[in-house]
Structure 1
Amino acid sequence: MVRTVRRLVAVLTGGFAAAVLSLGLAETARAAPKPPPAGVEITGQGLAEPLRLRADDRPAHVVALIDQVNFLTRTGQAKGPKAADLGPRYTVVVFAGDVAKQTYDLYPKAVGGPRVFRPAKQPDARKTTAGWFLGRLNMSETLRTAGVPLERQFDAVSGGAGGGERVIPEEALNPTKDLDEAFGELQRLMLLNIAVVLVITSGLAGIALLVRRRTR
């Protein structure tokens, strides 16, 4: 009788554990859908059609292009260089999946160094102020390697002007953040599942001990 009860407890424990773990994994799959890939779209001089890049096939180029605008502060200069000193303009739109989030005008050949203009009107209806900013010194090379027809600059250095508060939403800038959060959520749910299994196991063990005492 005691052996039968023990076997029954073991079967029930295994069944509860499998059910709880399966439920937890199913809830995680539903609660943490795959985040849409980030992307950028470039239009401007020399481009017959928009140049679209996505993080799932060209992640290095997408990150490098977003890095050209992710350092901008909330307030820039009200006036920029004269139109004759700006050179060619390239409009960069940042996407989250197929949804446009931010737009910026880049001037890699501006007199005195690259410039960035942030329009007040943004595609995601976020409230911001128009402003001019000094761009990164490697702007021209970043655009060129992404596919924009610009002459190569051998004296371009990594980085350049920048700093300040990031104004683009983090989920649009870092396509792996949502994935990291999903893994973190999975770990928390796994720990919760383990705790539930331990509680159930302890309860079944108590029931088995009580049955054993009564059958003696």
Structure 2
Amino acid sequence: MVRQMRRFAVMLAGALTTALLSLGTAGPASAAPKPPPAGVDISGVGLPAPLRLRADTNPAGVIAVIDQVNFLARNGMTTGPKAADLGPKYTVVVLVGDTAKQTYDLYPKAAGGPRVYRPAKQPDGHKTSAGWFLGRLSMSETLRTVGVPLERQFDTVSGGVGGGERVLPEDTLDPARDLDEALGDLQRLLLLNVGVVLTITVGLAGIALLIRRRTR
């Protein structure tokens, strides 16, 4: 009887410890947001050197620029506006790690609204269908916000082609706010782990007391 009780105590302790370890390792991973791509490079009119935006230093800027091209359909229009109506061109290259994966030509000042051109040949070697697309109305303001020398537009909106809300609200660029949220999540996780440890401790103490009484 005593051996069975001890065996049961060991099994229960192992199960509780396994649950605690899985909680401590799987919890933060499941709660962490999906990281953005490593970065984007922007080159074009008025830029003596490419703008290099990276997710570790400017995640809001990287996400906002990628948002200008991540809605494109598989097939676009075969012809675009006349060259004289396109205005300044800005080439955006999307990188994953140090590898260039995608490239797009953006025309924020095109007549009739912003335009996006997707070349058939992409920098990582794969080919896609070349095409012209209507761009988001926020294109000019988004590029200006991340450093492209464009005039400010006060009526710029986004969220779709032709409507939505501002791409870069001021609170998304506040690193202190993001740090406070991260610390709050960490504090809640630590409190949860402490609670689990206390529960395991109380359970093991109760089992030990029960075994001691049985062996007397």
- Counterpart position of 1:3: 2
- In the alignment, is the contact (CA less than 8 A) between 2:43 and 2:50 conserved in 1? yes
- In the alignment, is the contact (CA less than 8 A) between 1:36 and 1:96 conserved in 2? no
Counting matched residue pairs gives: 159
C-alpha distance 37-64 of structure 1, shift in aligned 2 (>3 A): closer
Cα offset, 1:56, TM superposition: 3.1
Letter in 1 for 2:113: G
User: Separation in 2 of the partners of 1:160 and 1:15?
Assistant: 52
TM-score w.r.t. the length of structure 1 is: 0.62
Unaligned runs of at least 5 residues, structure 1: 163-216
C-alpha distance 6-142 of structure 1, shift in aligned 2 (>3 A): same
User: Separation in 2 of the partners of 1:50 and 1:43?
Assistant: 4
| 2:121 is equivalent to residue 86 of structure 1 | no
**Runs in 1 of length 4+ with deviation above 6 angstroms?**
24-28
Match of 1:14, SS?
A: helix
Match of 2:136, SS?
A: coil
C-alpha distance 141-36 of structure 1, shift in aligned 2 (>3 A): closer
C-alpha distance 157-14 of structure 1, shift in aligned 2 (>3 A): closer
- Counterpart position of 2:144: 144
C-alpha distance 37-139 of structure 1, shift in aligned 2 (>3 A): closer
C-alpha distance 36-123 of structure 1, shift in aligned 2 (>3 A): farther
User: Separation in 1 of the partners of 2:36 and 2:107?
Assistant: 26
Letter in 2 for 1:156: T
Cα offset, 1:85, TM superposition: 1.7
- Counterpart position of 1:45: 45
Unaligned runs of at least 5 residues, structure 2: 163-216
Cα offset, 1:156, TM superposition: 2.0
- In the alignment, is the contact (CA less than 8 A) between 1:37 and 1:56 conserved in 2? no
User: Separation in 1 of the partners of 2:44 and 2:50?
Assistant: 8
User: Separation in 1 of the partners of 2:121 and 2:40?
Assistant: 18
- Counterpart position of 2:118: 118
5 Å matches for 1:1-216? 2-15=1-14, 18=17, 37-38=36-37, 39-159=39-159, 161=161
Match of 1:84, SS?
A: helix
Cα offset, 1:154, TM superposition: 1.8
Match of 1:137, SS?
A: coil
TM-score w.r.t. the length of structure 2 is: 0.62
Percent identity among equivalent residues?
67
C-alpha distance 115-37 of structure 1, shift in aligned 2 (>3 A): closer
Task: Report the aligned-residue RMSD.
Answer: 3.2
Cα offset, 1:18, TM superposition: 3.9
Letter in 2 for 1:157: V
User: Separation in 2 of the partners of 1:154 and 1:35?
Assistant: 31
Cα offset, 1:36, TM superposition: 6.7
Match of 1:62, SS?
A: helix
User: Separation in 1 of the partners of 2:122 and 2:150?
Assistant: 27
User: Separation in 2 of the partners of 1:88 and 1:153?
Assistant: 16
